A and B are shown apart, each in its own frame.
Chain A
Amino acid sequence: MKLHTLSAVALVTGTAAFAEPDMDKVGFIYVGPTADYGYNMSMDLGRADVETAFPDVETQVFEAIPETAEVSRVMERMIRSDTGIIFATSYGYLDYAIELGEKYPDVKFLHAGGLKTSDNVGTYWADSDDGMYLAGMVAGHMTETDKLGFIGAFQIPQLFRSINAFTLGAQSVNPDVTMTVVWTGGWWEPQKEADAVTAFANQGIDVIAEQVDSPITIAETAQKTGTMVVGKDVDISDRAGDVWLTGVSWNWGPMMVDQVKAIQDGTWEPSHVRGDLKSGHAVLDPFGPKVPQDVIDEVLAAKEKILSGEMDIWAGPIVAQSGKTIVPEGEVMDMETIESMGFMVDGVTGSAS
C-alpha cells in the first residue's frame, strides 16, 4: 500500500517546478469582469497606473474568479509563473491569500480591505465613509418623499459603514429621512438590482444609493423610473443622465504604486494601509444637473471641514436601530468599532444579520 502511494505521488509529481518570485511581475485577481463600470474596473484602473509608473513591471490579470478555493488555484498559477506580488482585490479572497502565503513566504500579497495580516499578506483600502456622508447630505436635500433606499450585496462591515455614513449625512440636513436597505446576496446580480430599483420606486423612495459591484444597472433602471441615484466605485456621471446626484469613486493607482515601490525597495512591511477622502484615494464625484448650487456649496463646505479635521462623521451621538447608543455625545467612534461595524443606525429599515 505504501509503495503504491509513493509511486502514485511520483507519477503526479514528476519534475517539481519551483517558483522564483519576480517583483517585476505583478498579478491582479478580480471577482468580476474588468469592464463592469464598477469595483473591478476601479481596481483595474489602478493596475494600469502601476504599469505606467514602472516600465519594467509586467502585470497579469485573472477576471471573474469566485471567492472560493478557486482563487487559491489561480494565485498558485500566478506564483508558478514567477509572479512576486499579488493584488487579491475581493473581500472573500483574504483567508486563501493567508493560507497560500504560508506556502510561498517570498511572495507578497496585498488584499483589498481585509482585517487580518500575516508575515507576507498586507491589506490596502480607501475608506468611502466621508464621501458617502457627503453624498448622503445631497440625498437628504434632494429627496421630496424623505425616503431613501440602499441596495447592498452582503451584510459585511464595509457595507454597514457606507449605509450608516450615508444615512447620517442625510439625517444631518433632513432629520425626517428614513432609509430602506435591501440585500442582493451577490456582488453582481443585475436582475435583482433592477427589481430592487423598481420596488423602491413603487414605495415612493426617490433617492437610491448602492454598494454592489457596479452602479451601472441601478443607474440605468433608475432613469426609467425617474429615481435619483448616488453612485459608487467608478464615476459613471456621464452614463446616468439627469437622475445622477453624485457618487464616491476610487483612485487606487497611487496607493498600489506606493505598495509596489515599497516591496521592490525592500522597505515593505505587512500592515493595514488605509486612505480616505483626504488622501485622495476616495473621491467625491461630480454633481448631477439637478443638484442646485446652494446644496453644492453646503456639501463642499462640509467637505472642507472633514478634510481639515474640524468635523468627524463618526462623532456621537450615534444610535443603532435597536435604540442602543453606540457613541455618546461628545465622543468619536474608535477605529476598531468602525472596521468591524455590524449594526445599522436609527432610521434604517432592514436586517443587519
Chain B
Amino acid sequence: MTPTSSGRTLPFAAIALATAAVFLLAAATFFIAIGQAPLRAMIDLVLFATGDAFSRVESLLKAAPILLCAIAAAIPGRLGLISVGAEGQLHLGAIFGTALVLAMPQAPAIILLPATLLAAAVGGALWGGVPGWLRGRLSVNETITTLVMNYLGILMVNGLVFGPWRDPANLGWPATASFPDAARLPVLPGTGLHLGLFLGVLLALGCAFAFSRGIRAERVRVLAMNRKVGETYGLNFPRFAVILMATGGAAAGLAGICEAIAVQGRLQPGLSLGYGLTGFLVAWLCGHRFLLILPVSILVGGLLAAGDSLQLFHKIPASSATILQGLLFVTVLAVPGVLNRRAS
C-alpha cells in the first residue's frame, strides 16, 4: 500500500472504504460483546469528538502531535524507509527545547520561542539523522535502530526530570519548574489551540508540494523503487537517507516541544500518549500521502479524545478505548493486504 509497491493493486479509495467498513463492524462486535448498544456508543463517540466547541478543540489538540509524528514517519517512508522512531524523536525535541528554556528563562518571547522551536527541531533531527546515517552508510536496519532509540529518548527524559532538572519546589515530584510565559506557544484566544497544529498543517502541505514535483521528488521516487538503479545514475542514497530521516525527526521534535510548552507547561514523564506509534500507523494507513495524513490525523485525534465518553457515559473501563484503537490499527494493517492479495 505504499507508493512503491508494484504489481496490480486496487484503487486506494476502495481499500480505504473497505477498511473503514471492517473497522466499524469490528467495533460494533466489540461493543456488543461487552454488553453495550453499538449504535449509541458510536454516536456518543462522534458527539464527543465533534459535538461542541470544547470537543472539537480537544480533538484537534490530540491530532496535532499525531499529525507531526505521522509526517515524521511519512517523509522517510517516501524513500522506502520504515522509521518507527517518532516517539523517541518527540522526546529528544522536548529535551532540546526544554534545555533552551531552562538556559535562558528571562529571554523575551520573540527570541525564546523561535529558538526553542529550532532547538527542538534540531534534537528531533539528530534522533532521526543517526539511524538515517547508519542505514545509508552501514546498511543497519533503520526500523530496529529507531525502535531502540525510542526507549533511549524516553529514558533520557525520565533521567533528566528525576535528576538534574527536577524542580526542588516540587517536593520530590519528577518534573521541571513551570515554563515562563515567554516560552508558551501562541494560542488561539479562548481555545487552547496552539501553534503546533498550524505548524503540522503547514508542514503537511509543504511536504505534499515538495514530494509531488521537481527533480528532487523524482530522485526520491527512483531511489525508493530501486536503490541500485538510482545509484547508477549518480544519486547518493546515504545522503537522501540522512536528510529525509532528519527532516522527519525534526517534525516529531516539534511535536515534543509543543506538548511540553503548550499542553503540559513543563517537562515531565508521560509527555506522549503513544503519539509516535499512532503517527506511524496513520502514515502507513495513508500510504505516506501527506494530503491524506492531514484529515486522518484529525480523525484519529478525535477517536482518542472521544474515548472519554466510553468511560463517562457507558461506564466501561479505560482499556476499551485502547482496544478500539488496536482494532483500528489491526484492520488498517490487515484489510489492504488481504484485498490486494486476492486482487492480484
Residues on B with beta carbons closer than 8 Å to the beta carbon of A65: 318
Decide yes or no whether B265 CB sits under 8 A from chain A: yes
Decide yes or no whether A8 CB sits under 8 A from chain B: yes
A340-353: CB near B (< 8 Å → 1, else 0) gives 10100000000001
Q: Is the CB of B317 within 8 A of A73?
A: no
Quick one: closest A residue to B321, CB to CB?
Answer: A64
Decide yes or no whether B190 CB sits under 8 A from chain A: yes
Interfacial residues, chain B to chain A (CB-CB below 8 A): 48, 52-54, 56-58, 60, 158, 162, 171-174, 188-191, 193, 263-265, 268-271, 273, 305, 308, 311-313, 315, 317-319
Show 17 residue pairs from A and B whose CB-CB distance is below 8 angstroms, ordered by the A residue. Answer: A5-B188, A5-B189, A9-B190, A15-B53, A17-B53, A60-B312, A62-B311, A64-B319, A68-B263, A68-B270, A74-B308, A76-B54, A77-B312, A81-B312, A115-B171, A154-B172, A185-B162
Out of B60, B174, B273, name the residue touching A66 (CB < 8 Å): B273
Q: Is the CB of A62 within 8 A of B54?
A: no
Out of A13, A70, A115, name the residue touching B273 (CB < 8 Å): A70
Out of A33, A60, A115, name the residue touching B317 (CB < 8 Å): A33
List the 3 shortest-distance A-B pairs measured between CB atoms, nearest first: A155-B172, A64-B318, A156-B172
Q: From residue A98, how far is it (CB to closest CB) to chain B in Å? A: 13
Which of B52, B162, B190, B318 has the most A CB atoms < 10 Å from its CB?
B318
Q: In the assembly, what is the distance between CA of A115 and CA of B170, in Å? A: 11
Also in contact, A12 and B174, with CB within 8 A (given A33-B318, A62-B311, A69-B263): no
Decide yes or no whether A199 CB sits under 8 A from chain B: no
Quick one: closest A residue to B322, CB to CB?
Answer: A64
Q: From residue B190, how far is it (CB to closest CB) to chain A in Å? A: 6
Q: In the assembly, what is the distance between CA of A64 and CA of B273, in Å? A: 12
Quick one: closest B residue to A159, CB to CB?
Answer: B172
Q: In the assembly, what is the distance between CA of A233 and CA of B191, in Å? A: 40
Quick one: closest A residue to B265, CB to CB?
Answer: A69
Q: Is the CB of A69 within 8 A of B58?
A: no
Q: In the assembly, what is the distance between CA of A36 and CA of B320, in Å? A: 16
Q: In the assembly, what is the distance between CA of A272 and CA of B304, in Å? A: 35
Decide yes or no whether A335 CB sits under 8 A from chain B: no
Q: From residue B85, how far is it (CB to closest CB) to chain A in Å? A: 22
Decide yes or no whether A318 CB sits under 8 A from chain B: no
Residues on B with beta carbons closer than 8 Å to the beta carbon of A66: 270, 273
Q: From residue A41, how far is it (CB to closest CB) to chain B in Å? A: 13
Out of A12, A68, A69, name the residue touching B56 (CB < 8 Å): A12
Residues on A with beta carbons closer than 8 Å to the beta carbon of B54: 17, 76, 80
Q: From residue A213, how far is it (CB to closest CB) to chain B in Å? A: 15
Also in contact, A8 and B188, with CB within 8 A (given A62-B318, A63-B318): yes
Q: Is the CB of B191 within 8 A of A9?
A: yes
Q: In the assembly, what is the distance between CA of A248 and CA of B48, in Å? A: 40
Also in contact, A14 and B188, with CB within 8 A (given A33-B317, A342-B171): no
Residues on A with beta carbons closer than 8 Å to the beta carbon of B319: 33, 64
Q: In the assembly, what is the distance between CA of A13 and CA of B57, in Å? A: 8
Q: From residue B315, how far is it (CB to closest CB) to chain A in Å? A: 7
